[in-house]
Each structure stands twice: as C-alpha cells, then as structure tokens.
Amino acid sequence: MVLGVWGGVMPTYRFYRVKKGGHFTEPPELADLSDDETAVEHARRLADDTPVEVWDGARRVTVVRVKRK
C-alpha cells in the first residue's frame, strides 16, 4: 500500500496470469491502484491469452477471463 495524493492509502493489487489447471504461470504483476474498478480494468488489458486473477491482500477481487477474438 502507498500513500495516495490526498493522504489516503492506495492498495497494492496483484495480478496473476492463470494457466490450465488453475496454476499461476509466473510471479504476479503489482500495481498501486485507487480501487477495485481500476484494478479490474487493468486486468482486462492483461488478459489477452490467459485469465488473470486480481488480488488485494488476502481478498480475491475477481477473475478476468480471456478475451474472445
């Protein structure tokens, strides 16, 4: 977590790429973002070829599925 511009705390979200079987493919990407909605939008940009799990601490926010082309 980092201190935001207005003195609030911004959570550090973790973004895990998930392969078949539900295993993570690599260490997570980290991003200090203002809220869950912003984190989900970030995950949508990452989920081109594998699903992405979004975590805030011990709380799983969501799973963003692969985009269909």
pLDDT in tens, 9-59: 778 999 999 988 888 989 999 999 999 999 999 999 999 889 999 999 999
CB-based contacts of 1-5 (< 8 A; 24+ apart in sequence) = 1/32, 2/32, 4/34
Q: CA 27 to CA 13: how far, in whole Å?
A: 13
Residue 26 lies in a domain: yes
Residue 69 lies in a domain: no
Strands 2-3 and 59-64: unpaired
Strands 29-32 and 52-56: unpaired
Q: Are 46 and 52 in contact (CB under 8 A)?
A: yes
Residue 15 lies in a domain: yes
Residue 20 bridge partners (DSSP): none
Full domain range(s) for residue 24 = 2-64
Task: Count the domains in the chain.
Answer: 1
pLDDT at position 53: 97
Residue 37 lies in a domain: yes
Answer whether residue 7 shows pLDDT above 80: no
